């Protein structure tokens, strides 16, 4: 049933608008075509991105649920709107890396594309005004972002997501280089995977060629942005042989 009443927007972010519903435990996420990078220093539009990212995120979260990982997804309302369980977002951007890239390469002066011996979890304080700084476990606890038990649970969750999604993408000819997730506490206290996982929040490299199939095409002006997002959706929704 798609007859949920959508109330006023409660937040507009860089890629989505969040709407309240009459049920205090449910929200609607509206996926926009807007794209930003480098903490809004680069802004633009990727035509069709919203509906594509919604479908990619839902497919990936269904895969994670099948593996026993609890997510906020309730159901798709229409091509841009997703009904989710409301959570209190833990203000951490939880990044997992399988290869060096992006800010890791910059921070530690290592070239991009070096395989890591084991997946690395990094936590960043989710705060645009301060440039999303890296935080360690103790700081995340001392600053009140999460309890020590939650920080541990988040790291376990992140590595489980990595294991499931790496295999999922590999079966579709894509290497999962790195990604960001968000987690939050539902009304019943459960830790849920929230927000989205899509080509906006992952680095995805075509296996064999290394072709970038993600937001780096926008960040680095590599061209073919719309076509690449559509290709990611097609591969994600494909049933591998
Ligand atoms: P940003 O805030 O980084 O610009 P978006 O434009 O994607 O990002 O906005 C979506 C916002 O909704 C994010 O701040 C995200 O943390 C939040 N969010 C995602 N899922 C949920 C949820 N289930 N409950 C509450 N907030 C959520
Ligand atoms: N990421 C994200 N949102 C952010 C920062 C990072 O989705 O605000 C994702 C990014 O797409 C990449 C991973 O997290 O897949 C690691 O990003 P990194 O720290 O290298 O920063 P970036 O190069 O994206 O600025």
Average pLDDT score, the chain: 97
The rounded distance, in Å, linking the Cα atoms of 157 and 106 is: 26
According to the model, what pLDDT value does residue 77 have? 98
How many A from CA of 216 to the centre of ligand 2?
10
> 208-219: per-residue pLDDT in tens?
999 999 999 999
CA distance 208 to 162: 20
Task: Determine how β-strand 42-45 pairs with β-strand 34-37.
Answer: antiparallel
Within 6 A (CB) of ligand 1 lie 11, 13-16, 18, 27, 72, 84-87, 89, 182, 184, 194-195
Question: 47 forms bridges with which residues in the sheet?
Answer: none
Ligand whose nearest atom lies closest to the CA of 201: 2
Dist. CA 201 → ligand 2 center (Å): 6
Give the per-residue pLDDT at 241.
82
Pocket-testing residue among 121, 180, 217, ligand 2, by greatest number of atoms within 8 A of Cβ: 180
Q: Provide the 10 A C-beta neighbour count for residue 193.
A: 25
Rounded to the nearest angstrom, the distance between the alpha carbon of 114 and the centre of ligand 1 is 31
Which band of pLDDT confidence, cut at 50, 70 and 90, is reported for residue 3?
A: confident
**127 alpha carbon to ligand 2 midpoint, in Å?**
13
Q: What is the whole-number distance in angstroms between the Cα of residue 191 and the centre of ligand 1?
A: 15
For the chain, helix (H) and strand (E) counts, in that order, are 6, 14
The ligand minimizing its distance to the Cα of 203 is 2
Mean pLDDT of 170-193: 97
Which tokens belong to 19? 């709407």
Mean pLDDT within 192-218: 98
Q: What residue ranges define each of the domains in the chain, with the CATH number in brackets?
A: 9-85 (3.30.200.20), 88-224 (3.30.470.20)
User: What is the per-residue pLDDT for 135?
Assistant: 98
Measured from the CB, is residue 179 less than 6 Å from ligand 2?
A: yes
217 vs 78, 110, 115, 180, 222, CA distance in Å?
27, 21, 21, 17, 5
Q: What is the pLDDT of residue 91?
A: 98
Q: Is the pLDDT of residue 100 over 70?
A: yes
DSSP 195: S
Enter the tokens of residue 78: 């229409």
């Amino acid at each position: 049933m798609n007859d949920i009443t959508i109330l006023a927007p409660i937040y507009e972010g860089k890629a989505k608008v969040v709407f309240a519903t009459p049920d205090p435990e449910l929200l609607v996420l509206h996926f926009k075509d807007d794209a930003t990078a480098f903490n809004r220093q680069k802004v633009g539009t990727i035509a069709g991105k919203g509906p594509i990212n919604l479908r990619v995120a839902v497919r990936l979260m269904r895969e994670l649920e099948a593996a026993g990982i609890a997510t906020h997804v309730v159901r798709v309302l229409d091509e841009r709107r997703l009904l989710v369980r409301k959570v209190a977002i833990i203000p951490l951007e939880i990044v997992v890396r399988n290869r060096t890239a992006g800010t890791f390469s910059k921070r530690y002066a290592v070239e991009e594309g070096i395989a890591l011996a084991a997946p690395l979890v990094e936590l960043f304080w989710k705060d645009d005004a301060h440039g999303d700084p890296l935080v360690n476990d103790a700081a995340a606890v001392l600053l009140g972002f999460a309890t020590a038990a939650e920080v541990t649970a988040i790291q376990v969750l992140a590595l489980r997501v990595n294991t499931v999604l790496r295999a999922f993408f590999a079966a579709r000819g894509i290497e999962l280089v790195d990604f960001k997730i968000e987690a939050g506490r539902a009304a019943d206290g459960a830790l849920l995977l929230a927000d989205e996982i899509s080509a906006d929040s992952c680095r995805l490299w075509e296996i064999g060629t290394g072709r970038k199939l993600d937001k780096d095409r926008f960040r680095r002006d590599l061209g073919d942005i719309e076509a690449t997002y559509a290709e990611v959706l097609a591969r994600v929704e494909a049933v591998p042989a």
